[in-house]
Amino acid sequence: MLGIGAFLISSVVRVVDRRRDVVALVVVGARRRTLRLVQLAQTLGPLSIALTVSMVVGHLGGNALLRLQGKQVGWYDGTLQAAWPMVLVAVLAACAVGVIVVGLRPKTEDLRRQ
């Protein structure tokens, strides 16, 4: 949960930092839907890579720990069952943050700057 919170905070900060770029694209004529889809893709892309790697590492680490302690023979899939709810929460949170685009309605000072 702490990692998900850190990811969401960094995503919101990135959205605010991109305001100037979004205003420039809106002035040029980019559609709002396109901007939202791009933002969502740029948020979900790194998250999906990080979640995949963390699930694999967690699964292998959990199985290695069980085997070293002599409590398990073969593969144990309880680590994956425990990870799915957190993955779902992370993806839903990223979707919620990914559709937020700041600067779709440029103010006069933004237009003067551009």
Q: Tell me what pLDDT residue 87 has.
A: 85
All residue ranges of the chain with pLDDT < 50 are none
Q: Tell me what pLDDT residue 2 has.
A: 77
Q: Tell me what pLDDT residue 114 has.
A: 63
Q: Quote the pTM value.
A: 0.69
CA dist 3 → 26, 30, 68, 71, 93 (Å):
33, 33, 28, 29, 12
Orientation angle between helical segments 78-98 and 2-17, nearest 10 degrees: 20
CA distance 102 to 65: 45
Task: Read off the pLDDT of residues 84-93 as tens digits, 9 standing for 90 and up.
Answer: 888 888 888 8
Q: Tell me what pLDDT residue 79 has.
A: 77
